[in-house]
């Protein structure tokens, strides 16, 4: 079993882009991230605004200390929540969400979601996948970006342990 420490208070900066290769290069050039794990054509099955939906994404992941940088390039399907700010032919790279890790079991994940919704942050999507559960809440009116909660089971923790890490 892989034991990966996930900071339960703050774990991820999620960016959307329309050019994954160029986005990776931008982080490398500012010497913030030496390398990314690239995962292309990822099928995402979710509940989007309460209805079943699917999307395909190209993703890039890297750890900088205890913070994960996630790059999301929407490819097809239900991708509208990822598009604002990156439409058009020009290169786009924009902060989309801040992710918070949830330690414990899936009930704790669900309790965090419920609390955020009670605080006025509507649930945009939720995915209960093979590696864990992931949700996106709309906190743009409060914070200017979305909030993501990430709960990883053993498979998810093992996957994220393989992501390139720099200090």
For residue range 23-75, what is the model confidence (pLDDT) as tens digits? Answer: 999 999 988 888 999 999 999 999 999 999 999 999 999 999 889 999 999 99
In a domain, 7, yes or no: no
Mean pLDDT taken over the chain? 92
| pLDDT score at 88 | 87
| pLDDT score at 65 | 86
- What long-range pairs does 140-145 form, CB within 8 A, spacing at least 24? 143/98, 145/95, 145/96, 145/97, 145/98
| pLDDT score at 103 | 87
Neighbours of 18 (CB within 10 A): 20
| pLDDT score at 66 | 85
| pLDDT score at 110 | 95
In a domain, 92, yes or no: yes
What are the strands, taking DSSP E only, across 31-119? 37-48, 51-64, 67-77, 93-101
* Domain boundaries, position 124: 12-166
Angle in degrees, CA 28, 31, 32, rounded to 5: 85
- Place 137 in a pLDDT band, splitting at 50, 70 and 90: very high
Neighbours of 134 (CB within 10 A): 21
In a domain, 5, yes or no: no
Per-residue pLDDT, averaged over 12-22, amounts to 97
In a domain, 45, yes or no: yes
Per-residue pLDDT, averaged over 103-126, amounts to 94
Question: What CATH code is carried by the domain that includes residue 99?
Answer: 3.10.180.10
| pLDDT score at 134 | 96
What pLDDT, in 10s, does the model give residues 78-96?
Answer: 999 999 999 989 999 999 9
Number of separate domains in the chain = 1
Per-residue pLDDT, averaged over 149-166, amounts to 90
pTM of the model: 0.91
- Place 4 in a pLDDT band, splitting at 50, 70 and 90: low
Tokens of 56: 């395909």
Phi, psi of 27 (to 5 degrees): -70, -35
In a domain, 6, yes or no: no
Neighbours of 10 (CB within 10 A): 12
């Amino acid at each position: 079993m892989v034991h990966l420490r996930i900071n339960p208070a703050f774990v991820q900066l999620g960016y959307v882009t329309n050019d994954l290769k160029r986005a990776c290069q931008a982080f490398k050039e500012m010497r913030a991230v030496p390398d990314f794990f690239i995962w292309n054509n990822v099928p995402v099955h979710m509940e989007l605004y309460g209805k079943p939906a699917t999307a395909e994404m190209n993703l890039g992941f890297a750890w900088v200390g205890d913070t994960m940088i996630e790059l999301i390039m929407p490819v097809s399907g239900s991708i509208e929540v990822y598009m604002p700010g990156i439409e058009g032919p020009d290169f786009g790279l924009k902060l989309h969400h801040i992710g918070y890790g949830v330690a414990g079991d899936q009930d704790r994940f669900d309790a965090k979601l419920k609390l955020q919704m009670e605080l006025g942050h509507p649930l945009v999507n939720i995915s209960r996948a093979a590696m864990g559960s992931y949700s996106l809440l709309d906190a743009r009116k409060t914070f200017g970006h979305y909030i993501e909660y990430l709960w990883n089971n053993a498979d998810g923790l093992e996957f994220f342990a393989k992501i390139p890490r720099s200090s």
